[in-house]
């Protein structure tokens, strides 16, 4: 199967407004340069006192994707993803906020590259340590999230709370 390396970036506002969790993928491989660019966007996220506690493990091996999918209870679709990016953080005071900011950047970068992706829970899950070990990551790193991604034809449209319901000018 040909590896698609087309770099079709969209503007940030469009990526932000059209990103939705995608859990079904075509299986078409994604070029390494695109995966690298997505991680590059992750590592540029904001972090408390710029501590950048993160490490990213990109899994593309099909057998490994299948194993991760078996372990992550709500991440079975990772078995069909082209890649899964693990976001691991050193156990700093704000590791969860920092790792979450990095994770959101991954989702948006994936969208900007025309890919579907989905955040799968890592932190607080009983399987977090199992996946960390499976990935060969050092003890002490916290698995914040797993991001499954790939090309997709799915266009999910979960309902979102309207702007007028959530926006409060000056006072609640
Ligand atoms: C902290 C967090 C954990 C999540 N864990 C999972 C998960 O384990 N499996 C899954 O399918 N989706 C997971 N999601 C994705 C959410 O279900 C999804 O973002 C939500 O339904 C809103 O849909 P949207 O992303 O399309 O806006 C998670 C999202 C967040 C922020």
From 75, 101, 118, give the residue whose CB has the most ligand 1 atoms within 8 Å, as the site to mutate. 118
How much of the chain exceeds pLDDT 70, in percent?
A: 95
Q: Give the per-residue pLDDT at 7.
A: 57
How much is the pLDDT for 10? 87
Give pLDDT, residue 2. Answer: 45
For ligand 1, pick from 99, 121, 126 the residue to mutate: most ligand atoms within 8 Å of CB: 121
Cα 146 to chain centroid, rounded: 6
In tens, the pLDDT along 155-170 reads 999 999 999 999 999 9
Amino acid 54: pLDDT: 99
Q: What angle do CA 72, 61, 71 make, to 5 degrees?
A: 15
Query: What is the distance of C-alpha 49 from the center of its chain?
Result: 23
How many helices and strands (H and E) does the chain possess?
6, 4
Check: CB of residue 110 under 8 Å from CB of residue 54. Answer: no
Question: Could you report the per-residue pLDDT of 4-34, keeping only the tens digit for each?
Answer: 455 567 899 999 999 999 999 998 999 999 9
**pLDDT tens for each residue of 82-138:** 999 999 999 999 999 999 999 999 999 999 999 999 999 999 999 999 999 999 999
Residue carrying structure tokens 């995966």: 35
Average pLDDT of the residues in 36-44: 98
Distances (CA, A) of 11 to 15, 18, 69: 6, 11, 32
Report the pocket of ligand 1 as residue ranges, CB < 6 Å: 20-21, 23, 74-75, 118-121, 156, 158
Q: CA end-to-end span of the chain, whole Å?
A: 54
């Amino acid at each position: 199967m040909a590896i698609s390396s087309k770099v079709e970036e969209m503007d940030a506002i469009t990526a932000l407004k059209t990103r939705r969790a995608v859990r079904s993928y075509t299986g078409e491989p994604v070029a390494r340069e695109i995966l690298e660019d997505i991680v590059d966007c992750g590592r540029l996220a904001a972090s408390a006192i710029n501590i950048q506690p993160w490490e990213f493990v990109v899994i593309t091996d099909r057998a490994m994707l299948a194993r991760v999918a078996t372990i992550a209870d709500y991440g079975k679709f990772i078995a069909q993803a082209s890649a899964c990016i693990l976001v691991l953080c050193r156990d700093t005071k704000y590791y969860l906020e920092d790792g979450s900011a990095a994770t959101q950047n991954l989702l948006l970068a994936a969208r900007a590259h025309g890919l579907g992706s989905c955040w799968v829970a890592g932190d607080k899950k009983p399987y977090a340590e199992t996946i960390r070990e499976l990935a060969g990551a050092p003890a002490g790193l916290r698995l914040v999230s797993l991001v499954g991604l790939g090309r997709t034809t799915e266009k999910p449209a979960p309902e979102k709370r309207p702007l007028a319901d959530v926006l409060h000018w000056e006072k609640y």
